[in-house]
A and B are shown apart, each in its own frame.
Chain A
């Protein structure tokens, strides 16, 4: 499965991320519980031909019963359990949650390494792509050039 992580952002960045993601035909767009995440997800869906709406995922929402890392693991399990190998899925999450928790969990970086300070940077509106299957590989992490390129064209590869 191809997993795209888009970190939540303001309306302008969300529109740019949405137009960048238009190059990929997504099977689902999931988001967590905040307005900002919803708005980012809606901006992505707007440019998707076969999707009508983004989907609120309870695993992506804040959950007081879980630590950030446990929540990140629950999200990963949900994604792996729910989607097929051939599907392409985007999830929207807060930048800091991606940087400190989900990025490390999806890449199977151990808790010890995270405690020792290994993290991904947190750029709002950034896109990361992961191949998720028997193992997880980062195709790219924190790609932000689409946020800087002048309109209307987006970068060609994703």
Chain B
């Protein structure tokens, strides 16, 4: 199984607060925007570039966390895919430290992402669907439990050459998802981030059916910086 992990594009939470106010983007109330910031125009452009670069890879399934920036990034990437699969919201993919915030209300999906099919993850386990992440999941061990749960779920559902995309956030992707895919111990993840995650960076980890775990690349953002005249779709990876 090939697992592509993408961090969301630049969000209004990633930039200076004064700039956030200068760039109203969607109709959510400001309070919700603070908890669940949307992508900036730059963040959307970054996601478009990532989607273009990923356009030659055919995903069998696409998952995102329940946050607006995570869903929006997945939706933009999916816009570049020929084979359309629904985006499955996997609440465990949310960012760390949100203290129980459940994510963008489901009722707003159709308003915010009208052209994209977004469904709760069909898995009956606690990873399924948008929901409140228990407070215990916000401690480091809780986050690791979330990470391991995601990996177990993926292993149950996918194998062989199945190719999937996870749209998540910086800390959860770099410090939790990749270490969980590699089955690193807590001691390995001693002081936090092992893998840096930049907006719309793409990482890929292969899990082989015989148990090997291979990082093919991590934090690749070259789609953001190709020389003029080069088309990123010609250089998928």
Chain A bound to chain B: yes
Report which A residues bind B (CB closer than 8 A). 99, 103, 107-110, 112-113, 116-121, 126, 131, 134-145, 148-150, 153-157
**Chain B positions within 8 Å of A126 at CB level:** 217
Residues of B in contact (CB 8 Å), total: 36
Nearest residue (CB) in A for B216 is: A121
Given A113-B185, A118-B213, A126-B217, 6 additional A-B pairs, CB 8 A: A117-B213, A143-B220, A145-B220, A150-B230, A155-B227, A156-B227
**Given A116-B211, A138-B196, does the pair A110, B184 have CB atoms closer than 8 Å?**
yes
Please state if B213 and A135 are interface contacts (CB–CB under 8 Å).
Answer: no
Which interface residue of B190, B212, B213, B215 has the most chain A CB atoms within 10 A? B215
Please state if A109 and B188 are interface contacts (CB–CB under 8 Å).
Answer: yes
Bound: A121/B213 CA distance, A: 9
Indicate whether B1 reaches chain A with its CB closer than 8 angstroms.
no
Instruction: Name B220's contact: one of A103, A110, A140 (CB within 8 Å).
Output: A140
Please state if B235 and A148 are interface contacts (CB–CB under 8 Å).
Answer: yes
- Describe B's contact surface by its main secondary structure: loop
17 contacts between A and B (CB under 8 A): A103-B215, A107-B194, A109-B188, A113-B182, A113-B188, A117-B208, A117-B213, A118-B184, A119-B212, A119-B215, A121-B217, A134-B191, A137-B194, A140-B196, A145-B220, A153-B228, A155-B226
Please state if A117 and B195 are interface contacts (CB–CB under 8 Å).
Answer: no
**Chain B positions within 8 Å of A145 at CB level:** 220, 222, 226, 235, 237
Please state if B212 and A117 are interface contacts (CB–CB under 8 Å).
Answer: yes
Please state if A149 and B235 are interface contacts (CB–CB under 8 Å).
Answer: yes
Please state if A139 and B196 are interface contacts (CB–CB under 8 Å).
Answer: yes
**Chain A positions within 8 Å of B193 at CB level:** 137
**Chain B positions within 8 Å of A143 at CB level:** 217, 220, 222
**Chain A positions within 8 Å of B24 at CB level:** none
**Chain B positions within 8 Å of A107 at CB level:** 188, 194
**Chain A positions within 8 Å of B227 at CB level:** 149, 153-156
Q: Closest approach, in angstroms, between the C-beta of B114 and any C-beta of chain A?
A: 34
Which interface residue of A139, A145, A156 has the most chain B CB atoms within 10 A? A145
Please state if A135 and B190 are interface contacts (CB–CB under 8 Å).
Answer: yes
Nearest residue (CB) in B for A99 is: B214
Bound: A126/B184 CA distance, A: 24
